[in-house]
Amino acid sequence: MTDWTDPTQVTRASALEMADAMRAGTVTSVELVQAHLDRIAAVDGPVHAFLYVNAEEALATAAAVDADRATGAALPLLAGVPIAIKDVLVTKGMPTTAGSRILEGWLPPYDATVTAKVRAARMPILGKTNMDEFAMGSSTEHSGYGPTHNPWDLERIPGGSGGGSSASLAAWETPLAIGSDTGGSIRQPAAVTGTVGVKPTYGGVSRYGAIALASSLDQLGPCARTVADTAALHEVMGGHDVMDATSLDEPVPSCLEAARDGAANGLAGVRIGVVKELGGEGYQDGVKQRFEEGLDHLRALGAEIVEVSCPSFKYALAAYYLILPSEASSNLAKFDSVRFGLRVERDTIEKTMGATRAEGFGDEVKRRIILGTYALSAGYYDAYYGSAQKVRTLIQRDFAAAFEQADVLVSPTAPTTPFKIGERIDDPLAMYLNDVATIPANLAGIPGMSLPAGVAPEDGLPVGFQILAPAHEDARLYRIGAALEKALVAQWGGPLASLAPELEVAP
């Protein structure tokens, strides 16, 4: 049992345990927020998960929740539980940069819908987490503010683009975080830090106020250390929003109920498809081993394992790196020195724009904007962008056929455990391979989860297990994920994050 008077134990509890303890009166929201702010002060120097710490407002929100609770007022499930928000979401009163120098110090004049939902859920916001610039990357090394370091090994990457969110969870700086996933930016960071992350069905969470990367691929989602916590946050974030025309007009999935069902009742009658193309060559031995062991657990829980083939997946990475840059080159045109952000003054507006964008954007953003400009240019459009859109149809057909044979599909989340900072920074194509298993879900709009599968025997670093479900069937991820998590946690003796080496604490 958690000793709620011990700040270290407090930060290691799950979000749902924190919520229960507040309801039972054994801990206050102010105590929870203070324990996490103290933890951030103690370890975030070397980890660098946060770009901004929102201490004053978080404590004020917590105090208001505690006061309301003392009067016996009805409060939302996660009221008083602290949360971190990826810097891709606009937050009124907190600087928002999307990891780019071009937005340094920008104070947004409005809240994103998800920010507003977090506030309405009465959750204190601890701060904004680091990310690759405009979410372009798999390591956070492309952040304009320096990389985040993986709490499992500070010389290694925490994944990306949401490496700030994943590292903040693994470093016990927050129990919950928000991410965004365009090609794997929630799932791959979860995999390499031993945490959990979900990309919902496209349109399941409003993107109003999320700084757009690629509008046909982007989706916001929940990040946590347990499947049930992730489910509870998903229900806070989800739902229809008239401010986002791509938002689905349907009820929020019952994620938490599905997670409880999976953990309690096992998986008898569930068919699970292993995607042949997402494994084998190019996947690290320890990744394959832990994935196979995950399949053994699923079998033991009563599931039937079948192999499925998705032959068009071989084109997914290429199609993604045409569609994403094309959409990004258009979305990032708004950073033009006129309405917000950096301006590098020259004698005409055109020269000012060129100088501003040269200084404000990093190399990866420049590469992708130029690539997108090329792919959309006259004479090349059909060959590149047009073909990439055909690939998208083929991938959707592969998924449709696979889901005829299985209720969910599974694979390793990423081909390797976290690599060393700097190792792939000058080789964009090697960097892009990190997302080979996560990208197909974004191209098809389907939901996906990554949860810890263990540590690779050869390096002791975390491995992620990916579950994919048909569009609108997000609840299946939580049912299967919670069942697998329960079996693995019983084997490990606690959540995987608790097996990470202790971080050095600043005095």
- Catalytic residue numbers? 86, 161, 185
Angle at 127 between CA 122 and CA 129, to 5 degrees: 125
> Torsions phi, psi of 199, nearest 5?
-95, 110
* Binders of other proteins in range 128-157 (CB under 8 A): none
Site string for other proteins, 6-45 (x = CB under 8 A): ----------------------------------------
Which stretch in 120-128, 222-230, 266-274, 388-396 sits in contact with other proteins by CB under 8 A?
388-396
Q: How far is CA 259 from the centre of its chain?
A: 19
* Residue 393, C-beta contacts closer than 8 angstroms, at least 6 positions apart: none
**Shortest reach from residue 245's CB to other proteins, in Å:** 4
189 within 8 A of 461, measured Cβ to Cβ:
no
Which stretch in 65-73, 205-213, 242-250, 487-495 sits in contact with other proteins by CB under 8 A?
242-250
Binding of residue 381 to other proteins (CB under 8 A): no
3-state secondary structure of 431: helix
Question: Which tokens in the block code for residue 87?
Answer: 């810097």
Binding of residue 107 to other proteins (CB under 8 A): yes
* Interface with other proteins (CB under 8 A), residue from 74, 269, 339, 502: 339
Distance between CA atoms of 226 and 249, rounded to whole angstroms?
28
* Interface with other proteins (CB under 8 A), residue from 70, 300, 383, 490: 383
**Shortest reach from residue 349's CB to other proteins, in Å:** 5
Distance between CA atoms of 466 and 397, rounded to whole angstroms?
20
Binding of residue 276 to other proteins (CB under 8 A): no
Q: Which residues, in sequence order, are bridge partners of residue 466?
A: 411, 450
Site string for other proteins, 420-459 (x = CB under 8 A): ------x-xx------------xxxxx-------------
Tokens 């390499």 map to which residue?
A: 192
Which stretch in 7-15, 37-45, 245-253, 275-283 sits in contact with other proteins by CB under 8 A?
245-253
Distance between CA atoms of 363 and 142, rounded to whole angstroms?
8
Distance between CA atoms of 418 and 148, rounded to whole angstroms?
12
* Interface with other proteins (CB under 8 A), residue from 369, 406, 436, 488: 369
Binding of residue 205 to other proteins (CB under 8 A): no
Distance between CA atoms of 21 and 26, rounded to whole angstroms?
5
Amino acid letter, 486: K
* Interface with other proteins (CB under 8 A), residue from 212, 258, 275, 319: 319
**Shortest reach from residue 359's CB to other proteins, in Å:** 8
* Interface with other proteins (CB under 8 A), residue from 110, 155, 491, 504: 110
